[in-house]
Chains A and B, each alone.
Chain A
Amino acid sequence: MPALTVSRWSRVIVLFMAVSLVGAVVCLQFGSERIPLTEVTRILLDGGKGDAGESASGVNRSVIVLEVRLPRILLAFLVGASLAAVGVALQALLRNPLADPFILGVSSGAALGAILALQIGVGWAVAGFSPVQVFAFLGAGVTIITIYRVAVKNGQVPVHTLLLAGVIINAIFSALILFITSLADSTSAFRMFFWLMGNLTTLGYAGIGALAVSVAVGVGLLCGQARSLNVLALGEETARGLGLDVERVKRMIFFTSALVTGAVVAVSGLIGFVGMVIPHMLRMTLGADHRLLLPGAALVGGVSLMAADTAARSLLAPAELPVGVITALCGGPFFIYLLVRNRGAQIL
């Protein structure tokens, strides 16, 4: 692969953006009832003011598209984009291709927070976020600080300590989650189980707006470090030799990734696979340069989760599958196919 040029970068990013946009419109068709593509487009274009007609269940179709499906699709996109981008960044930071957003233990902190909220039955909500989501984010925050305090030594954060701290925190919190689940009555135990599997329940537009801003800032910060990540991925000594302020960049990547993960897990639970497979997939097709890889993975991650969630909603409608089941069932075999296929052939 010749060096990354502006034209190749724009070509790939524009293509992925177009795919995201078309993907979103296509996904809006599906749900418990199919709404034709032409009508979806019309509703989107006139903002629901036109006469959309009623669905079989007697609900206005523009309400279904704009109030039910669109927020959910936006949520799926944001969550998928964040998980994939954080996955790319953490794989580079930890120099471990098996890393994913959940490896640092932040996600289990968030899960513990959510489970606690479900068990205690907290009543209040903040700015469009449910108490479960608020507690989950608080749990993530406490965990981030804990892990950092454990791993930091003389102002340095050795990545293997970070990794080990993450794994241990994961184990401790998983035990606590199991403990709380065992105390819970069957109804709330089921809700806890459902939350842990990962799901994209509807979040209001206010919540989505807040999430979109934090995700944009977080992923933007990560993309801004793309060149540093390239160098960091070669190892810390090499990176330092090439002129990188290694500890500063490591801290920044850790806190940004952890906060984005915390925010995303708080609203969606543990949706696996996107954060590990998408980075791999994109690295195989686009190469390892993070300037292209990071934004590319974010867009593809967003589209993929959007598609997976649409499938989860409509395959057994009106029942809903946990979206994590879909991501694993589709992503796994596809990933194996990529592994088996002639490696290193870069397509775009």
Chain B
Amino acid sequence: MGPCYRLTDVSFRYIRDWVLRDFSLEVTAGEVLGLIGPNGAGKSSLLKLMAGFLRPDQGRVILHGEDLVTLPPRKVARQVAVVPQESHVQFPFTVTELVLMGRFSHQEGWGWDSPEDLHIARSAMQAMDILPVANRTFQELSGGERQRTMIARALAQQPGILLLDEPTAFLDINHQLEIYAILRDLNGNRGVTVVLVSHDLNLAGQYCDRLVLLREGRVFRVGPPDQVLTAEHIREVYGCDVLIDRHPEAGTPRITLPTPVHRNSRQPILFPSSLCPRSGVSPGEGGSR
């Protein structure tokens, strides 16, 4: 299958410092691609550029052969759905209402939600296990329910491409597993291309076909998890040593953090003494002197 995204020499900055610099990448239709890298490497900005939320200062983002900048939002939304890292909903919209908004790009004008829209929204809520909270407002939901609502809304968009920013950040392990299973299912059975940002290198390594390791706004390595997730790469990009063995079932790289070693066993390095609470003095009293 051909590329669905082609980024050529993309540079982007918010104000002064470049967040992405001469960034080129092709996303193959039908793959699960993971974007990994330390904080500030440009992962989320990259996702927003692909979503059309941000415009590149240089270079081009091509979606299915068309420059993203020239495409009307409605047309983009029918192909690409985005699950943001965090969502704030100011007003008392219910879960059903929010998921139905995923149908926005498919609906014309003022109209009512069609039976088809309702059916699609319902299936999305079922897949995300949020039917029991369908009539609650967003404010009443737990972090995990909120995240699953956002994913359900993206599913209701029936996109060919799904962009997710830390989709499992607020979820317990059971729901983490469920999300990845659903992403795998969408990808395997319906050919949905998935691009996700993740800080969880293990899950990313286990479920992604390819990983892009970013460093300071550039591609450091791109390839299958086996080749990207090596101790040398991680040391070079993240600056820390890790232990790598194999996942007992999947055989993918498994990364474990080593036990922290203190240079001086009597004086822990993490806290200088000025930050440590003094014995016998409560924090309130300490400040009033």
A residues lining the B interface (CB < 8 Å)? 1-6, 91-92, 95-97, 224, 226-227, 230-231, 233-235, 237-238, 240-246, 283-284, 287-289, 291, 344
Assess the B104–A244 pair: CB atoms within 8 A: yes
- Distance of B121 from chain A, by nearest CB (Å): 8
Q: Which of B77, B94, B102, B121 contacts A287 (CB 8 A)?
A: B94
Assess the A6–B92 pair: CB atoms within 8 A: no
- Distance of A284 from chain B, by nearest CB (Å): 8
Assess the A237–B74 pair: CB atoms within 8 A: no
Contact (A344, B137) CB under 8 Å given A3-B100, A3-B113, A226-B110: yes
Q: Which of B52, B92, B96, B137 contacts A3 (CB 8 A)?
A: B96
Assess the A3–B93 pair: CB atoms within 8 A: no
Q: Which of B53, B82, B92 contacts A344 (CB 8 A)?
A: B92
* Other 8 A-B pairs with CB < 8 A, given A1-B97, A95-B90, A230-B97: A1-B94, A3-B118, A96-B90, A227-B107, A234-B87, A240-B52, A243-B104, A244-B74
A-B pairs with beta carbons under 8 A, tally: 106
Bound Cα distance A92, B91 (Å) = 8
Does any Cβ of A come within 8 Å of B51's Cβ?
A: yes
Assess the B157–A288 pair: CB atoms within 8 A: no
Bound Cα distance A97, B90 (Å) = 8
Which residues does chain A contribute within 8 Å of B84, judged by CB atoms?
Answer: 237-238, 241
B residues lining the A interface (CB < 8 Å)? 48, 51-53, 72-78, 80-82, 84, 87-94, 96-98, 100-102, 104-105, 107, 109-113, 118, 121, 134-135, 137, 140, 153, 157
- Distance of A246 from chain B, by nearest CB (Å): 7
Bound Cα distance A243, B110 (Å) = 14
Interface pairs (9), CB distance under 8 Å: A3-B97, A6-B112, A95-B90, A227-B111, A234-B93, A235-B87, A237-B53, A240-B53, A242-B153
- 9 A-B pairs closest in CB distance: A243-B105, A243-B77, A288-B91, A241-B82, A243-B74, A242-B104, A288-B93, A1-B94, A288-B92
Q: Which of A6, A95, A97, A241 contacts B51 (CB 8 A)?
A: A241
Contact (A227, B100) CB under 8 Å given A241-B51, A245-B74, A344-B137: no
Contact (A243, B90) CB under 8 Å given A3-B118, A224-B110, A226-B110: no
Bound Cα distance A344, B141 (Å) = 13
Bound Cα distance A97, B139 (Å) = 15
Which residues does chain A contribute within 8 Å of B48, judged by CB atoms?
Answer: 237
Please give me the residue from chain B that is nearest to A228 by CB atom.
Answer: B104
Please give me the residue from chain A that is nearest to B76 by CB atom.
Answer: A243
Which residues does chain A contribute within 8 Å of B53, judged by CB atoms?
Answer: 237, 240-241
Which residues does chain B contribute within 8 Å of A224, judged by CB atoms?
Answer: 110
Bound Cα distance A326, B89 (Å) = 33
Please give me the residue from chain B that is nearest to A96 by CB atom.
Answer: B90
Bound Cα distance A4, B137 (Å) = 14
Bound Cα distance A189, B48 (Å) = 55
Assess the B92–A242 pair: CB atoms within 8 A: no
Bound Cα distance A91, B137 (Å) = 18
